[in-house]
Structure 1
Amino acid sequence: MDGVRFEHEPDAAIFAEYGLSRVWPCTPQPDGANELFTVDGSDYGPYPARPASPVWGPHEPISVTGEVAARIADHLNTLNAGCGLTVTWDGGSGLIFTWDKTYRDDEGTETVTPDAEGRYPIGGLWPWMRWSDRG
């Protein structure tokens, strides 16, 4: 299945019947090139990024530069203010996502730090969508 992209998302019953998740291998880009992503169901972005792993789905992280991470944080805090999810810098290079019961059932935090390449794997708090897949 390596490199397979669905043109549409199969019915949830099919996934449940076979015990599969909604994660499928993404089409590798040449030399780790960026694609454009947006927050699913929004007009935010596009954000240049690449999937953080070879197996990617909408709730999996995308890998972004520090500049793009700052842009995502700014958009979250200004364009989506009041949603119950905020992000701050930890005083160093980490991003702290904080949410309340408005956003999820339980309050929580998640700290995202850069990987060995200096890129931030951001995901799991909302679904991502490839910019080219917008309808």
Structure 2
Amino acid sequence: MTTPAADTEPRPADGAPLLVQLFTVEASAYGPYVGLPLKDPWGPYDAHLFTRATAELIVRDLEHDECGMEGHFTPDGTLVFQWTVENDGVGGSRSVQPDAHGRYAIGELWSWDAWNNDIPQTAGQAAFAVGAAEYELAAEKRTPYPEGLDGLYARGREEALTVSLRRGEL
């Protein structure tokens, strides 16, 4: 089964652009994954848009999870998920093509949770998450991080700006 590339900008009922959110796989500390929901409100199995870099992180986390699912990118950029019978009793695969902006709509394969402070996290994960959450803030309002964590903060902010097509950049 191939999931077609998302070809419309996600918008809630009032027409305003959706905000970037942070996700994790249900009951895990993977991520945080910076994504743009395709629905508002979103459900646990709904697809969200992710950059190639975040999609690669999701694939790496699948390798560590030993859940019977794996992912890889084909030369044309398609992301292919494959899973074993042990994963769901059937086994299968799904291909996800990037949209015109290089974002991947990933969903329906596992349950998403919102990333939050109740999730055990490293200092690096926390800095990355705060950077993503503060992607719309002017420089003087951003949380300062010491050297070593400042790069992770900047990467989180850049992921949020990239997936949102640089909306909110100051």
TM-score by length of 1: 0.70
Q: Distance in 2 between matches of 1:56 and 1:69?
A: 19
When structure 1 is superposed on structure 2, of 40-49 and 115-124 the one drifting more is: 115-124
Q: Distance in 2 between matches of 1:62 and 1:27?
A: 17
Alignment correspondent of 1:130: 114
Q: CA RMSD in A?
A: 2.3
Gaps of 5+ in 1: 1-25
Q: Distance in 2 between matches of 1:97 and 1:75?
A: 13
Gaps of 5+ in 2: 1-11, 120-170
Identity %: 34
2:81 to 91, 94, 97: 97
Alignment pair present for 1:71 and 2:61: no
Alignment correspondent of 1:108: 92
Q: Distance in 1 between matches of 2:81 and 2:49?
A: 16
1:67 aligns to what SS in structure 2?
helix
Q: Distance in 1 between matches of 2:111 and 2:52?
A: 20
Alignment correspondent of 1:21: none
- Pairwise mapping of residues 22-101 of structure 1 onto structure 2 (< 5 A)? 31-77=17-63, 79-80=64-65, 82-101=66-85
Q: Quick one: which amino acid aligns to residue 48 of structure 1? A: V
Alignment correspondent of 2:158: none
How far the C-alpha of 1:102 sits from its partner, in A, is 0.8
- Pairwise mapping of residues 9-28 of structure 1 onto structure 2 (< 5 A)? none
| Structure with more relative contact order (C-alpha pairs < 8 Å, separation 6 or more) | 2
Q: Distance in 1 between matches of 2:82 and 2:44?
A: 20
Q: Quick one: which amino acid aligns to residue 57 of structure 2? A: R
Hey, which of these two has a bigger chunk of strand by percent?
Answer: 1
TM-score by length of 2: 0.57
Q: Hey, which bits of structure 1, 4+ residues long, moved more than 6 A? A: none
Instruction: Please give the per-residue CA displacement for 1:61-97, whole angstroms capped at 9, x wherever unaligned.
Output: 11101111111111111x21x3210101112211110
Shift in alpha-carbon separation, 1:116–1:53, aligned structure 2, 3 A: farther
Hey, which of these two has a bigger chunk of helix by percent?
Answer: 2
